[in-house]
Every structure is written in C-alpha cells, then in structure tokens.
Amino acid sequence: MNRLIFAVAAALLIGWSGFWFMSSWTLKRDISEWFDARRAEGWQADYTDLTVRGFPSRLDATLTEVRLNDPVRGVGWEAPFFQILGLTYRPGHLILVWPDTQGLTLPSGPVAIDSTGLRASVVHTSDGRILRSNLEAEVLNIDGAQTTLAFAGLRAALTDVAGAPNLYRVGLTAEALAGPDVPMMPGTARADALQLQAELTFDGAWTVDAPSGPRPQPQRIDLRQADYRFEGLELNLAGRVDADPQGRATGKMTVRAVNWRDMLDRARDAGQLPSGLIDTLENALSLAAGFNGNANTLDLSLDFNEGRVSFGMIPLGKAPNLRIP
C-alpha cells in the first residue's frame, strides 16, 4: 500500500511539474511573441531579461529594462522592471507590479512617474476581455508638461457592466491630492478627500491587448459624482458629456463650489490662470453667487460644445481632449 501511495504521489508530482514547466514556457513564449509583433509594427520594443518563477503554484514573470515606443501615436513607456504575477490554477487573474520610477511619453511630451506600492489586478475572459480591474498606490506623483498631480492613498476601479456593451463603471478615491510643485510623500497629505464615480461608454471593449492599439475611445462620460475637499474648500461636479471621434466634448456639467474665492486666490498665486481672466471670473462669479443668496457658494454649469467650454456665460477656451493617445 505504501508503495502504491508513493507511486501515485510521484506520478502527480511529475505530472504537475511538467504542467508548470509547460505553462512557464508558454508564458515566456507569449510575452516574447508580443514584443516581436510590436517590433514588426515599427515599434521600439525591448527588454534586457525575462524570467518566470513561482513553482509549483505561481507563474510570476519579471521583465527588466523595458522600453516601448510607438512612433505613429507618439506614445512610449520605459521602466527598470515590470512584473506580471499569476496563479497556475487561475489563468484569468493577473497582478501587475510597477517600479517606483518609470517614464511615459505622450504626444504632449514626457511624463515622469514616481510611486510607492503601485500595482493593479486584472480579471479577464479567455479571449482577453477585461471584466474588472483595480489599481492602488500608497503614493503616486505624476509630473508632465501639461499635468502635475500627486496622490496619496489612491484607489481606482474599472468594472465591465454586464449586459451593456462597452459600458464600464469607474471609481476613484484618494486620501490626499496635491498640485504642481508639491510632491506627495507619505504623511504629507494636502487634501481632505477626492471621490469620483462615473460610467463610461467606449467604441469598443477593453482587452489585455489594448496597450498595443487600437485603444477603445470614449463616446460618453456620465459623471455621477466627483467631490474634492481641501482645507475648507469644496468642489462638486456631476453631468454628462459626449465625445466625437476627434475627442471633442459636448454636454453639460453642474458645478457647486464652496469658498470659491479662496480657489481663485490659490489659482492666482500658483499662476494656473492669467490674472486678467481671474479678475473677470471673480467679478462675474460674484454676481452669480449673489443670485444664490450665499456669496461663498456657487452653483453654475460648465457647458461643453464641440471641444469648447464655458463657465455659465464666461468662455474658458478649449476643453481637455477626451481621445486616448
């Protein structure tokens, strides 16, 4: 009997070992072929080393010195390492791990990313369609030519809405948020809270191959709730905008701003808006706030029309383009 048990155990061990090594080889092949396909499309797509570890129950791939650059779209990414972690018995669930420093290239210019604990989980179907994804970071600093933000305690989620093609529910929370020239460090919170809930409709489904393009583009953004509080200031947004194929927004957002004068003063001190525009805004918004019966609170709308935005009757210029590079 003991010999039989030993023989069965040995057979199971050999069988599982063979399965793991075959799965490991397949994963390395798939990653290598993905990079080969990108190079065939004209990308720069390189890495220094690729290893897969985790026997007997895990398949953890680590790439070092990763460089990706799509010259057609003008986007790229490089990092000292990148990890794709998974379990052999759950092939549709991945954990992605980024390094503390990495770099993005966008059409608008380079973006430096510094973070602590940046990782994401992705659950997908056998054909690669993403069902849900969650991202978290203890600290995330984003520094680019057009965007400089710093988050602490960041949590983001994307969920495929069953029965509604290409509709995704998006949520985002942050314990703290800082603006330009104020890098976020643990224990240096600059905001009370940031919360966002929205539903986004795209022109196609998001898949694990989306980074290689073409990427799904937003057609509608239904912002259910966006709340931001900072040292007595409070900003609330909600509304809906539609995006045309060029990424130009049309629609309306309602805005409620508490202690809005302090917001303008901070924008003036930080040089985020021309002083002449701030003076015009302050005069017009003072009149609008007077109609509300509370000089410290504003209730107005942001009106979007083919990529232009106005705040009530005040034109603000171009709205952010919604097209994903």
Dist. CA 284–CA 304, nearest whole Å = 19
292 within domain boundaries:
yes
86 within domain boundaries:
no
166 within domain boundaries:
no
Identify each DSSP E strand in the chain by its residue range. Answer: 44-46, 49-53, 58-70, 75-87, 90-97, 101-106, 109-116, 119-124, 130-144, 148-160, 167-174, 176-178, 193-202, 218-230, 233-243, 249-258, 297-305, 308-311, 314-318
246 within domain boundaries:
yes
Model pLDDT for residues 221-232, shown as the tens digit of each residue: 999 999 988 777
Position 92, amino acid: G
Tell me if 52 sits within 8 A of 29, measured CB to CB: no
87 within domain boundaries:
no
Tell me if 74 sits within 8 A of 107, measured CB to CB: yes
282 within domain boundaries:
yes
Cα-only R_g, the chain: 24
320-323 long-range CB contacts below 8 Å, 24 or more apart? 320/249, 321/246, 321/247, 321/248, 322/217, 322/218, 322/221, 322/241, 322/243, 322/247, 322/248, 322/249, 323/217, 323/218, 323/243, 323/246, 323/247
**How many structural domains are present in the chain?**
1
Q: Domain of residue 287: give its range.
A: 232-325
Half-sphere exposure of 42 (CA within 13 A, CB side): 7
Dist. CA 4–CA 191, nearest whole Å = 66
Model pLDDT for residues 27-52, shown as the tens digit of each residue: 999 999 999 999 999 999 999 999 99
Q: What are the distances in angstroms from CA 159 to CA 20, 85, 203, 322?
A: 31, 20, 16, 20
264 within domain boundaries:
yes
CB neighbour list of residue 314: distance below 8 Å, 6 or more residues apart = 280, 281, 284
- H/E stretch holding 288 reads helix 275-292
Q: pLDDT 10s per residue in the chain (325 long)? A: 556 555 555 554 565 567 778 888 999 999 999 999 999 999 999 999 999 998 888 999 999 999 999 999 999 999 999 999 999 888 899 999 999 999 999 988 999 999 999 999 999 999 999 999 999 999 999 998 877 888 999 999 999 999 899 999 999 999 888 766 544 444 444 556 889 999 999 999 999 988 887 889 999 999 999 998 877 778 899 999 999 999 999 999 998 878 777 777 766 666 655 556 666 666 666 666 665 656 677 788 889 999 898 876 778 788 889 999 8
Dist. CA 135–CA 95, nearest whole Å = 10
159 within domain boundaries:
no
Q: What is the pTM of this model?
A: 0.85
Dist. CA 183–CA 143, nearest whole Å = 9
